[in-house]
């Protein structure tokens, strides 16, 4: 891994280059909250679509989200400045552009983790969220847990990566059991609106 300045526009957001399977991949390392959805999208696009380079600075991507809100007749005052968090509707619109597929209600799952014990929650994650991910050929899911944006990418039967803007390496690898524990810890004691999973269809999906 090597660093390369702050092409992410904000001084605290640094482009970092990673050697992944012999290919150099750019990802943004985020150190201040607020831009996580934007950076998660840019990192996911760089890694998953094989581009290997960051598409644009987070500020430019934010402007596209603002334009979309205004097109839809929605107020954008709460996201005009850098480091102001996007909402779930913004996240769905933004990540829908990754594979150019219109989202449907069936693609969104909220996990209510209030007042249930850990074993029940772990079962919801393993046999609910991750089994549902298996039905999406893209293997991609973007999440909002604990007010932070991350994406999950399933590469093989027991091989997942979690793309996290605050991870110094850009992402971490998990097997299914490890990922289940990781997600269970993040979801624990949270209301449904705080445990958001958006599953991405592939381009050719109908």
Position 9 scores a pLDDT of 55
The stretch 175-204 carries a mean pLDDT of 94
Look at residue 198 and tell me whether its pLDDT is greater than 60.
yes
Tokens matching residue 204: 């050719």
The stretch 93-100 carries a mean pLDDT of 94
8 against 56, higher pLDDT: 56
Look at residue 8 and tell me whether its pLDDT is greater than 70.
no
Look at residue 72 and tell me whether its pLDDT is greater than 70.
yes
Helix or strand or coil: residue 197?
strand
* Closest-CA residue to 49 (of 129, 130, 163): 163
Q: Which domains does the chain have, with CATH numbers?
A: 2-200 (3.90.70)
Q: Percent of the chain at pLDDT above 90? A: 77
Tokens matching residue 132: 């549902």
- pLDDT, one tens digit per residue, over 154-164 is 999 999 999 99
What is the average pLDDT score of the chain?
91
Angle (nearest 5°) at CA 113 between 112 and 114: 100
Alpha-carbon span 195 to 6, nearest angstrom: 31
Look at residue 205 and tell me whether its pLDDT is greater than 50.
no
Alpha-carbon span 165 to 156, nearest angstrom: 22
Helix or strand or coil: residue 200?
strand
Helix or strand or coil: residue 9?
coil
């Amino acid at each position: 891994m090597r660093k390369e300045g702050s092409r992410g526009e904000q001084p605290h957001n640094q482009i970092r280059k990673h050697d992944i399977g012999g290919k150099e991949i750019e990802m943004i390392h985020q150190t201040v909250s607020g831009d996580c959805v934007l950076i998660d999208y840019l990192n996911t696009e760089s890694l998953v679509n094989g581009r290997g380079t960051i598409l644009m600075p987070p500020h430019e991507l934010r402007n596209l989200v603002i334009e979309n809100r205004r097109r839809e007749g929605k107020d954008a005052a709460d996201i005009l400045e850098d480091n102001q968090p996007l909402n779930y509707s913004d996240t769905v619109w933004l990540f829908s552009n990754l594979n150019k597929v219109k989202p449907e209600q069936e693609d969104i799952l909220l996990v209510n983790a209030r007042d249930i014990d850990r074993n029940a929650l772990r079962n919801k994650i393993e046999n609910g969220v991750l089994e549902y991910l298996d039905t999406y050929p893209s293997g991609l899911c973007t999440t909002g847990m604990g007010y932070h944006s991350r994406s999950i990418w399933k590469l093989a039967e027991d091989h997942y990566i979690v793309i996290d803007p605050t991870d110094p390496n850009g992402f971490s690898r998990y097997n299914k059991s490890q990922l289940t524990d990781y997600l269970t810890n993040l979801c624990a004691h949270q209301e449904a609106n705080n445990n958001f999973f958006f599953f991405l269809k592939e381009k050719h999906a109908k």
